[in-house]
Structure 1
Amino acid sequence: MTKKVVLVVEYNGSAYKGWQAQKFGVPSVQENLEKALAVIANHPVKVICAGRTDSGVHASAQVVHFETNVERSERAWTLGVNTYLPVDISVVAARHVSENFHARFSALSRRYRYVIYQSELRPAILAKGVTWTYKKLDAEVMKEAAKVFVGTHDFSSFRAIGCQANTPIRTILHFDVQQLGQYIVLDVRANAFLHHMIRNFAGVLMSIGAGEKTVSWSKEVLDAKDRCKGGITAPSDGLYFVDAQYPDIFNIPVCKLGPHFLPYVEEPSYDLSS
């Protein structure tokens, strides 16, 4: 009898050309995870994730599911699988779920955090885990500028030229900007995202935070519906997939919001099931 298992996976994406398995010799998170799962399952495994991440992008709580016809404990799907994974990928939770669960199509929302590190000198520790800027950024100004992104909009100005999505319309459910010591964190939840969307948000907001552009520029870029008007695409180093929300009926494991080096901040809960 076929069973469905959900995993929550953490990874440092610096060494990988993104989540998705590609041609032979191109390192991906998916390929490494599927190989490790196949050892424990003793059969080939295909995994499906909540949201594919690009080259160099990280995750603290990527949600995936797969099907298997073998009996294994949840401990086997975590500790056992981790034995066969490289040190920069780790399964942090596992649970057996109903057959109608789908990591991608059952998701109500996805959430990312973009972490900017401000310092006159570049960091060595976390060099590929944060986006470094020597410029002094005003987080409150960035927060004000980000308010225009909340809601349902045409985000053509923030999609990559090669984006293959059928429509540029997306709904931003939550967009916060917080200063946590030397970090500025962009925290964004949406129903779905376009290719490079958050990195393009970051490029616009960093220019505004540095005083190079006014607060009103974020709305001007949004209204233009033209990627050429949107400024730079910020680096992938500071981007983390941190959460996917599902209906409570599926009982998907919930992990502490990452990335884990950030101070814990109490936050409101979001009920998107209605």
Structure 2
Amino acid sequence: MRTIKLTIAFDGTGYCGWQRQHNGISIQQELERAASTICNQRIDIHGAGRTDAGVHAIGMTAHFRAATALPGAVLQKGMNALLPTAIRVITVDDEAPSFHARFSALAKTYRYAVSCGPVLLPQQRLYTAHLPYRLDCGDLQTCLAVISGTHDFSSFETTGSRDRTITTGRGAVRTIFRAELREPEPGLLHLCFTGDGFLRHMVRNLTGTLLEVGRGKRTVQEFRDIVQLRDRNRAGATAPAHGLTLLAVHYAHDW
């Protein structure tokens, strides 16, 4: 049995998210169907995490175990031939039996894209949220510095993110290694987050609150208070899913 790691890119438009669901087609289902056909056995694919419906990825990772002698390049080509064009296997690598796409990961990097211009180009509509207002980038930078480091992110946690009856473990505490604001072109902002883990909707809830600060609807001090209060009801709205992209999952060899 081989442990095979996949790096995957996908357009999440029209999918119910990464994880298999009863109410729609998931990325995981499509990959399992293709891998099972190529390997001629039932394949269960384990992802590095879950993505919501409509969220995209260019660096999602997953793994599966299979008794196949097919080289990685053949597996990649064969799976891509069977997959919808919205999903692509970028790389296929053999890993040690102990490797697990989720539990071996040290960090993930997400990007949230926002267009602040008066008109959103049709080519951007599926991957960029449109907020046609002037944003105060200085306040956004200050807030990003506030969340850098280790904090309890309960204020940005959607219900169902974890079992709250479990009193052991780290709860809602996560570490943000990097939180950056980039402007790749005039009017287009990227909020980038690298952390050791993210609660359900955490990046989208953070982004929704940050954008309210950028618009002047909240102050930087109010944002600081929201972090400290650990109360989801005090934070802002959840930003739309389609602006979010998983850029990379980081492991020991690249961290």
TM-score, normalisation: structure 1: 0.87
Whether the 8 Å CA contact 1:139–1:179 is kept in 2: the answer is no
| Alignment-mate amino acid for residue 8 of structure 2 | V
The answer to whether the aligner puts 1:245 opposite 2:250 as a matched pair is yes
Amino acid at match of 2:231: D
More helix by percentage: 2
Q: Which amino acid aligns with 1:222?
A: V
Structure 1 residue 18, shift from structure 2 partner: 0.6
> How many Å separate the matches in 1 of 2:252 and 2:239?
33
Which structure 2 segments of 5+ residues have no match? 165-170
How far off its partner does 1:13 sit? 0.5
Cα distance in 2 for partners of 1:62, 1:139 equals: 29
Shift of 1:143: 1.3
Give SS of 1:83's match.
helix
Q: State yes or no: 1:219 paired with 2:218.
A: no
1:179 aligns with 2:177: no
Aligned pairs (5 A) from 1:57-76: 57-76=55-74
| Percent identity for Structure 1 against Structure 2 | 32
Matches within 5 A, 1:1-274: 2-23=1-22, 26-164=24-162, 166=164, 167-181=171-185, 182-248=187-253, 271=255
Deviation at 1:95, TM superposition (A): 0.8
Runs of 4 or more consecutive aligned structure 1 residues displaced over 6 Å after TM superposition: none
Cα deviation, 1:47-85, whole Å, max 9, x if unaligned, reads: 111121011111110010000001111112211110000
SS in 1 for 2:34: helix
**Helix, strand or coil: the match of 1:125?**
helix
C-alpha distance in 2, partners of 1:76/1:138? 49
Distance of 1:66 and 1:131 partners within structure 2:
34
Unaligned runs of 5+ in 1: 249-253, 255-270
Letter in 1 for 2:3: K
The one-character-per-residue Cα deviations of 1:220-250 (angstroms, maximum 9, x if unpaired) are 11011100000111111110111111112xx
1:251 maps to none
Residue-pair matches, total: 248
| Per-residue Cα deviation, 1:185-209 (whole angstroms, up to 9, x for no partner) | 1111111110110001111111111
Q: Distance in 1 between matches of 2:147 and 2:218?
A: 17
SS at match of 2:88: strand
User: Which amino acid is the alignment partner of residue 121 of structure 1?
Assistant: V
Cα distance in 1 for residues equivalent to 2:144 and 2:21: 35
Give secondary structure in 1 for the equivalent of 2:115. strand
Task: Tell me, yes or no, if the aligned pair for 2:181 and 2:190 is still in contact at 8 Å.
Answer: yes
Question: Which one-letter code corresponds to 2:114 in the other structure?
Answer: I
Q: What is the identity, as a one-letter code, of the residue corresponding to 1:65? A: H
> Which amino acid counterpart does residue 93 of structure 2 have in structure 1?
R
2:205 maps to amino acid: N
What's the offset of the Cα at 1:183? 1.4
CA distance in 2, matches of 1:70, 1:121: 50
More displaced stretch, 12-21 vs 136-145 = 136-145
Q: Offset of 1:163 from its aligned partner?
A: 2.0
Pair 240,122 (structure 1): closer, same or farther in 2 beyond 3 Å: same
Looking at structure 2, the residues matched to 28 and 48 of structure 1 have their Cα atoms a distance apart, in angstroms, of: 13
- Cross-structure match for 1:265: none
CA distance in 2, matches of 1:201, 1:217: 13
Superposition deviation, residue 165 in structure 1: 5.0
Q: Matched residue of 1:62: which SS?
A: strand
SS at match of 1:38: helix
2:168 paired residue number: none
- The match for 1:257 is none
